[in-house]
């Protein structure tokens, strides 16, 4: 594993919180400096914080989440597990806070030390809390992004019951697929910025791979929820645009590096073929209770 990615992952277990200025110490004795006190909501155990992370060893930059991931990293706020887990101060952290934590390399347990440090080195990890993730707030944000995208690109789409926006460009003549049917789909996926991240019909995006439709059983969770929801209402032979909110796509985690977290996705799809599949097994029937003797 590259050293930048090593620290980025390791840093997720090193969190603290505070407000104010000057050098302070966490309850376990790790020094930290608050650069900025935010005015946002206070975090609590169970929250997911979106955090930008910068790591240094002494004064040498090792990496930052903005450069490596391109977006804040989601961190689940939890109880500290050991002495060097800076989550002990997470309950004091607010949205907008920024602080640097200074950890002596040789103070870490041997199994937790980055392999490129040495005795006397100091790890300096800066956390800047961008926001606190909320599914409800993200859905509202997605809806705004989708509305703006449809208006800008003059796409007349209908929102289905699951929340996917579907614009049929060419109506097919076949039947719609049932759960368990195998569908064959040509597609091009892009972000709302227009950047294409994958396509079944572009050899530059799939070097060495055959340009053929992707196939999978629909409604069985083999693809993102937005695909199952959008494709299930298309007739065989249809061509359509699917605009999928992030909560029905790759969500908070995204699919780095091509798809950032919380990305609304746009797919140009063609339902090439549908092959009947086995129906879902029937739910077991509970045996009738034995009669009570009187």
Whether 41 shows a pLDDT value over 90: the answer reads no
Q: How confident is the model at residue 288 (pLDDT cuts 50, 70, 90)?
A: low
What's the confidence (pLDDT) of residue 186? 97
Whether 123 shows a pLDDT value over 60: the answer reads yes
The CATH number of 136-275 is which of 3.40.50.2000, 3.30.70.3450, 3.10.50.40, 3.30.470.20? 3.10.50.40
Burial classification of residue 227, based on how many CB atoms lie within 10 Å of its CB (0-12 exposed, 13-18 middle, 19 or more buried): buried
Mean pLDDT of 203-224: 90
pLDDT tens-digit map of 143-174: 999 999 999 999 999 999 999 999 999 999 99
Whether 96 shows a pLDDT value over 60: the answer reads yes
What's the confidence (pLDDT) of residue 210? 81
Residue ranges of the domains in the chain? Answer: 3-132, 136-275
pLDDT tens-digit map of 10-26: 444 444 333 445 788 87
Burial classification of residue 218, based on how many CB atoms lie within 10 Å of its CB (0-12 exposed, 13-18 middle, 19 or more buried): buried
What's the confidence (pLDDT) of residue 196? 96
Mean pLDDT of 208-236: 94
Average pLDDT, the chain: 85
CA 178 to each of CA 148, 162, 183, 217, 230: distance values in angstroms, whole numbers, following the listed order: 32, 16, 10, 9, 13
Question: Quick one: CATH architecture of 3-132?
Answer: Roll (3.10)
Whether 92 shows a pLDDT value over 50: the answer reads yes
CA distance 153 to 201: 22
Interacting residues of 112 by C-beta distance below 8 A, sequence separation 6+: 10, 84
CA distance 243 to 269: 11
Mean pLDDT of 105-122: 84
Mean pLDDT of 207-230: 93
Q: Which residue has the tokens 């579907």?
A: 166
CA 52 to each of CA 39, 182, 233: distance values in angstroms, whole numbers, following the listed order: 17, 41, 40
Whether 221 shows a pLDDT value over 90: the answer reads yes
Beta bridge mates, 187: 269
What's the confidence (pLDDT) of residue 281? 61
pLDDT tens-digit map of 58-88: 988 888 888 877 778 888 888 878 777 778 7
End-to-end CA distance of the chain: 71
Mean pLDDT of 273-292: 67
What's the confidence (pLDDT) of residue 165? 98
What's the confidence (pLDDT) of residue 17? 38
CA distance 132 to 96: 10
Q: How confident is the model at residue 285 (pLDDT cuts 50, 70, 90)?
A: low
Whether 185 shows a pLDDT value over 50: the answer reads yes
Per CATH, 3-132 and 136-275 having the same topology is answered yes
What's the confidence (pLDDT) of residue 248? 97
Percent of the chain with pLDDT over 70: 86
For the entire predicted model, the pTM comes to 0.71
């Amino acid at each position: 594993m590259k050293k930048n990615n090593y620290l980025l992952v390791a840093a997720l277990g090193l969190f603290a919180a505070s407000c104010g200025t000057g050098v302070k110490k966490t309850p376990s004795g790790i020094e930290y400096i608050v650069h900025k006190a935010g005015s946002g909501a206070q975090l609590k155990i169970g929250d997911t914080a979106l955090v930008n992370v910068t790591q240094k060893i002494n004064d040498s930059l090792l990496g930052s989440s903005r450069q490596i991931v391109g977006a804040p990293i989601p961190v689940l706020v939890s109880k500290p597990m050991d002495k060097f887990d800076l989550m002990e101060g997470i309950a004091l952290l607010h949205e907008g806070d920024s602080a640097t934590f200074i950890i002596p390399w040789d103070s870490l347990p041997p199994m937790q030390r980055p392999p490129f440090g040495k005795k006397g080195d100091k790890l300096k990890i800066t956390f800047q809390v961008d926001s606190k993730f909320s599914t409800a707030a993200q859905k509202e944000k997605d809806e705004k992004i989708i509305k703006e995208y449809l208006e800008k690109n003059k796409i007349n789409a209908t929102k289905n019951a699951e929340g996917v926006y579907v614009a049929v460009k060419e109506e097919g003549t076949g039947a719609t697929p049932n759960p368990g049917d195998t569908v064959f789909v040509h597609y091009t996926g892009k972000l709302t910025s227009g950047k294409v991240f994958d396509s079944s019909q572009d050899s530059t995006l799939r070097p060495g791979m055959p340009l053929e439709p992707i196939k999978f059983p629909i409604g069985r969770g083999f693809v993102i929820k937005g695909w199952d929801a959008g494709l299930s209402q298309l007739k065989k032979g249809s061509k359509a645009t699917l605009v999928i909110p992030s909560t029905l796509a790759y969500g908070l985690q995204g699919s780095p590096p091509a798809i950032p977290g919380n990305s609304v996705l746009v797919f140009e799809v063609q339902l090439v073929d549908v092959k009947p599949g086995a129906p879902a097994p029937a739910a077991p029937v509970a045996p009738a209770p034995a009669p009570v003797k009187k």
